[in-house]
Structure 1
Amino acid sequence: MAYTKIGKHTVNAVRFVEIVQVFVRHGFADLVQRAGLHKGWPGKLLRGMRLMREPLGEAATFGSRLRSALTELGPTFVKLGQVLSTRPDLVGHKIAEELTGLQDEVTPVPFERMRPVIERELQAPLEALFASIEHVPVASASLSQVYRAVLKDGNIVAVKVQRPNIEGVIESDISLMETVAEWIKEYLDEQRIIDPPGIVEEFARSIRRELDFEVEARIAQQFADNFADDPCVVIPQPYPGHCSRHVLTLEWIEGVPVDTLEAYGQRNSDPAEIARIGCQALCKMVFEHRLFHADPHPGNIFLLRDNRLAFLDLGMSGHLESGDVQAMTELFLAIFNADSEACLEALLQLSSNDEPTNRALLAHEIAEYIAFEARVIVAGGQIARGIELAVQIMRRHNLELAPRFSLLLKALATIEIVGKQLDPQMDMTPVIQPYIETLITSRYSPAQLLKEIRVHANGYLRLSRQAPGDIAHLLRQLRSGRMKVHIHHEHLDKMANTMDRASKRNAVAVVTAALIVGSSLLISTNTPLAKLGIFGYVTAGLLGIFLIISILWGKEY
């Protein structure tokens, strides 16, 4: 939906009022206070419209109230909550666990409104595309609805259709989030690890990718290819001829959620075996394929028959580079071997920050973690608990997990929890340890060492070719006196902007005062120029009003 700049700001203002009303109604006046939204133009706007009072008392928020507020605010905020549920390093484990329970279920849109979307996207009448299609969706989420259909060749499929105009709603909310995030950043303590604009940017990338069903079709095909030779794991195959940006057609999977324990006898399956297969499948995704399902909760894993399972809803997936897998391998190996120094280096590799605020204190805390907790965790096969404690240590030391690692750790913790629901005696350690050992062994194999030598040799060769020219260029710059050194201070720009605004306001104030004094002198004379004094008063009054407005409402002048 195209808006003019003024129209866009108007829509943002209306939506902003609605959002704050919902948060205040759910007991989050304290959150408004923390974010600084009771100050400046947002607070003036809300209090002026009698939509918010000045918040009082200490801040005290809870994940359950946050979940309720996000649910009421609609699809964009439900998705934001789901993304935050993968970031316990930012919001804490208690809130992350509460947000995991966000239900993305809404009242379905009538089929009469969804039919034009299918026909427009697939460029054909519905009767030419399917032999039949059910008009009642089997699932209805905030972004899309899923219908059961039969293709012309008789294959049963699931047709996922994006809700009409949902992209416009999402983009409008993202625009508002970006504005509010920048505002909140100014009122947060600079030593906090939370970066509101960064979180919004990460969320925007995630949801925009999720809105593109062509991307999800390619991901589903990649997963299907990766598990083509595994008889125990099924991935629904996409039908490219029936897929587009807003319509996704996949193989229909006949099954039940994997935590439906009463169905195992009828389906000739063993819960303990399914738990092992599910955990092994995710480990294979991470350590072999480097493409993993980021949300393997029971609703996204179906039990089939004869100890087989299927992974569904691959829209939220994560990808790892080979270096990322090595970092995870080193972390688990350090925990298994009780090596605190290696554990410290591995955690720093997982972080997007450069260095902790106090490396010695962090090293001491990790040494205690390894000595007193890691051994018990490994012995009990509680990988999820080990991950939770490691992330808590990072959080206390202002270390932020890189987003891809947040997804990975969340996925590993979720699959272990699902596994223990099926088999309380399941031990994740013997499942994950063979993959760790295989990766460590392969790292020092002759073929891998030869590959690394070749890569490094090429790098050194390029450096040897470039270095003489670069050194000669630097020497020429020094001899000619054209060498320049640029120094950037993080907070210098902010101070310079503050001084610049202050000097401009002082200049306006001096001019205003001069006009008032000059006009007073002119009026006191009996010359024809006395009338100019009135004009001077008017000009001074306008400048004064402008100065007051700029101080109370503006930031740039």
Structure 2
Amino acid sequence: MGILPDQYDKYVRFFKFMMKYWNSDVFTFPDGGVPSSDKADASAEFDHTPEELTEDLKKMGPTYVKLGQLLSTRPDLLPPQFMEALATLQDDVDEVDYKIIEEIFKDEVGMRISKAYKFFDPKPMASASIGQVHKAIMHSGETVAVKIQRPGIRKRFIEDLDTLMDISEKAESVSEVARNFGVHNVIEELRYILLKELDYTLEAQNLITLKENLKDFKLLFIPAPIMDYCSSRVLTMEFVEGGKITKVSPLKLMDLDLVPLVDDLIKGYLKQIIIDGIAHADPHPGNVYLTPENKIALMDAGMVARFSNEMQETVLKLIIGLSNYDSRRVSELLLSISEYDEQKVDVALFKKNIERKIQESENQKAKDLQTGRILIEINQMAAKQNIHIPVDLNILGKILLNLDQIVAYLTPDYDMQQTMKKYVQKLMQKKMKEDLKPSNFMELFLEMKDLTENLPFRINKFSENLANNKIRVKVDTIDEDKFTGAFQKVANRITAGLIIAALIIGAAMLVQIPSSFTVFGYPAFAFVLFIIAALIGMYLLYQILFKDANKGK
């Protein structure tokens, strides 16, 4: 795609931004560790502050605000204090005129606002880069929240994304740094997320799915969409009373039994990740509300994380490994799912760093352990050694880090590690039971049926090729003479075994035939065959137990 005149300004703004930050130590922080949580001290280590980066992204426009929010889930690219600042990044945008809102609603839903709702507040409750939210009351008396997309925002996002895709592709073709950080993949991921977020019908479906999956957690609340008043640009859902959970006054918290609340929050997220494979992806404190009924409400399902069956099992094993402080298991799991060049990566150093990190966490008090922070630190160490851990684990680390912050605010002495360890064991049992469902048995049965039907043919074919000396074995990087000799010994022993079997069967048949020559009451010839078979068998047994054992030492 060429640089068109109407895109000139986009390119200029982007290159000004890159010139400022390209050589900044913000994106090349040295040790791969998580600095102090004290923002003032931590920011002094860098030539730009988190606040400066967030303001620059705001000036770039809504697409770059979303890019900043995406970067807040990438601990392999940014230090933690910058991730925390970007996680709460919001646009300073003007509200859309109510007349325009009315036109959009009528075009999307097919009726006027005054007909759809008994009351609709023209003043928005919140206004963001993609849309703004209004409070309304249905004719049934139910209070709802109506989110309406801003006019022209889809076109603007797509144009900015096309520009970023073009620039990132060119950057990777000329810059090794860009290739190492996978800049084009980051932009491609942003494009995928944004196009999903721009379709409110998908968010409505996410709300339905999450509500169904978490129905057994009585202290968790997901607002349900009102599908008759939803479209790709309009989302009507249950209104959530209450406020941000980290803004609840300490006095009110003292009157609540918070342990059951936190239990449901932790267990609900573990179930979403390990069993359901779809999870609310952004539980930062601003998206988690405490309702008047003392329930935890999860807001904004525009972005969800999806985990494949293989990744669900990996996460399960990983959490068990971290809970048991098994550094060897953790490092092996991470390497098995990561991409890296074996010739360039020092795997032994990576394993050693993992071992040190887990040993450090083992010495901490239970209440101070933060699984999310540990995962983020591991992601950073891997990135520094050019080991590319799947994005799924970056998102998992970010989710758990946000949960750590909420738990620390609500119940500072809560042992989150212990809760995770116990509940993960239950989830493992549940997952094993699900694997035993009839559909899996049917698949196994069909595989066994196929094996049973084809096994006689394959054995006959193998024995025919063996008899006709058509079996060929190709082995690289070993001594062919030694291998041939070893194979010959195996063949000889198989032949000897067949001879023993034939002698025993022949002797058993001869025993049934009367003979005038007997030994101990048995026909002499049959007795001789038994003796020969026994001698050959004892010789083979001696070779196996003593000769082979000595050679193996």
* Aligned-partner Cα distance in 2 for 1:378–1:391: 22
* Aligned-partner Cα distance in 2 for 1:127–1:450: 52
- The reply on whether 1:254 has 2:222 as its aligned counterpart is no
Cα separation, partners in 2 of 1:465 and 1:82, compared to 1, 3 Å: farther
Q: Compute the displacement of 1:290 (Å).
A: 2.4
1:95 aligned residue: 82
Cα separation, partners in 2 of 1:360 and 1:308, compared to 1, 3 Å: same
1:236 aligned residue: 223
Cα separation, partners in 2 of 1:372 and 1:420, compared to 1, 3 Å: closer
Deviations 1:476-498 (A, max 9, x none): xxxxxxxxxxxxxxxxxxxxxxx
* Aligned-partner Cα distance in 2 for 1:242–1:433: 42
1:106 aligned residue: 93
- The reply on whether 1:362 has 2:350 as its aligned counterpart is yes
Check the 8 A contact 1:146/1:161 in 2, yes or no: yes
Query: Which of 147, 157, 162 in structure 2 is aligned with 1:160?
Result: 147
Query: Which of 11, 14, 18 in structure 2 is aligned with 1:19?
Result: 14
Query: Which of 3, 10, 17 in structure 1 is aligned with 2:5?
Result: 10
Query: Which of 162, 166, 173 in structure 2 is aligned with 1:179?
Result: 166
What are the residue-to-residue correspondences of 1:113-128 with 2, within 5 Å?
Answer: 113-128=100-115
TM-score normalised by length of structure 1: 0.71
* Aligned-partner Cα distance in 1 for 2:138–2:106: 15
Which residue identity is paired with 1:204?
Answer: R
Q: Compute the displacement of 1:410 (Å).
A: 0.7
Q: CA RMSD in A?
A: 3.3
Q: Provide structure 2 residue ranges, at least 5 long, that are not aligned to the other structure.
A: 29-45, 462-553
* Aligned-partner Cα distance in 2 for 1:254–1:210: 24
Deviations 1:135-165 (A, max 9, x none): 0000100100000011122211100000000
Cα separation, partners in 2 of 1:318 and 1:352, compared to 1, 3 Å: farther
Query: Which of 65, 68, 92 in structure 2 is aligned with 1:81?
Result: 68
TM-score normalised by length of structure 2: 0.72
- SS in structure 1 at match of 2:180: coil
Check the 8 A contact 1:192/1:398 in 2, yes or no: no
Say which is worse superposed, 343-352 or 118-127, in terms of deviation: 343-352
2:405 aligned residue: 417
- The reply on whether 1:329 has 2:312 as its aligned counterpart is no
Paired residues in the alignment total 439
* Aligned-partner Cα distance in 1 for 2:188–2:454: 37
Which residue identity is paired with 1:256?
Answer: G
Query: Which of 44, 47, 53 in structure 2 is aligned with 1:66?
Result: 53
Q: Compute the displacement of 1:431 (Å).
A: 1.9
* Aligned-partner Cα distance in 2 for 1:239–1:433: 38
Q: Compute the displacement of 1:281 (Å).
A: 2.5
Cα separation, partners in 2 of 1:11 and 1:264, compared to 1, 3 Å: farther
* Aligned-partner Cα distance in 1 for 2:234–2:254: 32
- The reply on whether 1:274 has 2:269 as its aligned counterpart is no
Which residue identity is paired with 2:423?
Answer: Y
Percent of aligned positions that are identical: 25
Query: Which of 330, 336, 344 in structure 1 is aligned with 2:331?
Result: 344
- The reply on whether 1:211 has 2:191 as its aligned counterpart is no
Cα separation, partners in 2 of 1:327 and 1:423, compared to 1, 3 Å: same
Deviations 1:529-551 (A, max 9, x none): xxxxxxxxxxxxxxxxxxxxxxx
1:131 aligned residue: 118
Check the 8 A contact 2:121/2:136 in 1, yes or no: yes
* Aligned-partner Cα distance in 1 for 2:245–2:112: 37
Cα separation, partners in 2 of 1:347 and 1:447, compared to 1, 3 Å: closer
Which residue identity is paired with 1:142?
Answer: S
Which residue identity is paired with 2:394?
Answer: S
1:307 aligned residue: 294
* Aligned-partner Cα distance in 1 for 2:314–2:76: 18
What are the residue-to-residue correspondences of 1:400-439 with 2, within 5 Å?
Answer: 400-439=388-427
Check the 8 A contact 2:134/2:147 in 1, yes or no: yes
* Aligned-partner Cα distance in 1 for 2:143–2:254: 20
Say which is worse superposed, 195-204 or 382-391, in terms of deviation: 382-391
What are the residue-to-residue correspondences of 1:440-519 with 2, within 5 Å?
Answer: 440-442=428-430, 448=436, 455=443
Deviations 1:392-424 (A, max 9, x none): 221222122322322222111101111101222
2:544 aligned residue: none
Which residue identity is paired with 1:432?
Answer: M
Cα separation, partners in 2 of 1:276 and 1:435, compared to 1, 3 Å: closer
Say which is worse superposed, 246-255 or 100-109, in terms of deviation: 100-109
Cα separation, partners in 2 of 1:69 and 1:181, compared to 1, 3 Å: same
* Aligned-partner Cα distance in 1 for 2:361–2:450: 47
Q: Provide structure 1 residue ranges, at least 5 long, that are not aligned to the other structure.
A: 36-58, 473-557
Check the 8 A contact 1:193/1:399 in 2, yes or no: no
